[in-house]
């Protein structure tokens, strides 16, 4: 097995054990002692313990959270994983959204750098638009009433940019 294939398997194991199975202790084995998550703001959820806390939040909000890896690409010491996470939001609040019993789905891209069979640093991007869309729909009726009372209106299809004449 090539180094790249070995690294991809290690990242798959990490995502499956930690996110899907909730085995947060495996982070001590698969992440280096000086692990850095470049996704979080400095000082927040630092290191392995920080990762465990950040994973515990979505797991606590869903009884059936599952991350599936759709694609992986590896080169040298880096592995890029495109994953889709989904779960029923039926437990605790998540991102300020009270449990709805609805299924939530988010797309993720993780870049993991490995040294000596351990993930030493990660970067990530998550598309959380579906969560916010659900939140807006939940608040839609009250937001709509508030916008009518405040005088706010949806832009018309004939809106023009300043200095431009309508057709």
pLDDT in tens, 115-158: 999 999 999 999 988 777 766 776 664 444 444 444 444 444 44
pLDDT tens-digit series, residues 35-90: 999 988 777 778 999 999 989 988 999 999 999 999 999 999 999 999 999 999 99
pLDDT of residue 145: 41
Hey, CA dihedral for 124, 82, 29, 24, is it positive or negative? positive
Q: Has residue 159 got a pLDDT over 90?
A: no
CATH number assigned to the domain comprising residue 93: 3.10.450.50
Q: Is 155 exposed, middle or buried (0-12, 13-18, 19+ CB in 10 A)?
A: exposed
Q: Are 51 and 37 in contact (CB under 8 A)?
A: yes
Is position 91 within any domain? yes
Is position 162 within any domain? no
50: containing domain: 3-143
Is position 37 within any domain? yes
Q: Based on the structure, what is the number of domains in the chain?
A: 1
């Amino acid at each position: 097995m090539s180094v790249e294939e070995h690294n991809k398997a290690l990242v798959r194991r990490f995502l499956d054990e930690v996110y899907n199975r909730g085995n947060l202790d495996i982070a001590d084995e698969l992440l280096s002692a000086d692990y850095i998550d470049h996704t979080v703001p400095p000082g927040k959820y630092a290191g392995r313990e920080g990762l465990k806390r950040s994973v515990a939040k979505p797991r606590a909000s869903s009884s059936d959270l599952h991350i599936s890896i759709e694609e992986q690409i590896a080169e040298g010491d880096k592995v890029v994983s495109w994953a889709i996470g989904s779960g029923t939001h039926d437990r605790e609040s998540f991102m300020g959204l009270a449990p709805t019993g609805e299924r939530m789905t988010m797309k993720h891209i993780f870049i993991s750098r490995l040294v000596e069979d351990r993930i030493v640093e990660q970067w990530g991007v998550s598309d959380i638009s579906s969560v916010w869309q659900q939140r807006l729909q939940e608040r839609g009726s009250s937001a709509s009433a508030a916008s009518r009372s405040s005088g706010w209106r949806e832009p018309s299809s004939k809106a023009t940019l300043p200095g431009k004449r309508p057709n």
